[in-house]
């Protein structure tokens, strides 16, 4: 008989309104904390991906710079860099400058002159 009374007390305690409210509040806090942790984890994954992309770009840039340094360690590479940067030639070389024909031939000869200017041009 004592067993049945203890079960009733336990049931009445478990299903009491205050106990259910306290458990609900505890569940809400647990869900909120889990959601906050999930958001932080997603943000850190995004930052990790961005950092890995930057590392990949920096490694590629380092390889490019190493190849440029290797080219500058030769006389031909130094000469090519000087020619590219300063637009110079050796004393025994000739330089040909190619100009686009479309841009050099375009001149505007159709000018709008007023009647007074035409009259003044006649007397000059």
Contact 80, 86 (CB under 8 A): no
pLDDT in tens, 63-111: 999 999 998 999 888 888 888 888 787 888 877 777 877 654 555 555 6
Q: Is 118 a domain residue?
A: no
The residue segments making up the domain with residue 18 are: 2-94
Q: Is 119 a domain residue?
A: no
pLDDT in tens, 11-39: 888 888 999 999 999 999 999 999 999 99
Q: Is 104 a domain residue?
A: no
Contact 72, 81 (CB under 8 A): yes
Q: Is 81 a domain residue?
A: yes
Q: Is 29 a domain residue?
A: yes
Q: Return d(Cα 65, Cα 113) in angstroms, integer.
A: 59
């Amino acid at each position: 008989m004592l067993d049945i009374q203890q079960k009733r007390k336990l049931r009445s305690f478990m299903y009491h309104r205050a106990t259910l409210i306290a458990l609900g509040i505890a569940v809400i806090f647990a869900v909120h904390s889990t959601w906050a942790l999930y958001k932080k984890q997603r943000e850190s994954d995004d930052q990790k991906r961005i950092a890995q992309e930057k590392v990949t770009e920096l490694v590629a840039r380092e390889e490019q710079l190493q190849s440029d340094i290797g080219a500058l360690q030769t006389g031909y590479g130094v000469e090519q860099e000087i020619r590219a940067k300063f637009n110079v030639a050796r004393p025994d070389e000739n330089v040909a400058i190619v100009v686009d024909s479309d841009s050099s031939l375009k001149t505007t000869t159709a000018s709008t002159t007023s009647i007074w200017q035409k009259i003044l041009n006649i007397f000059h």
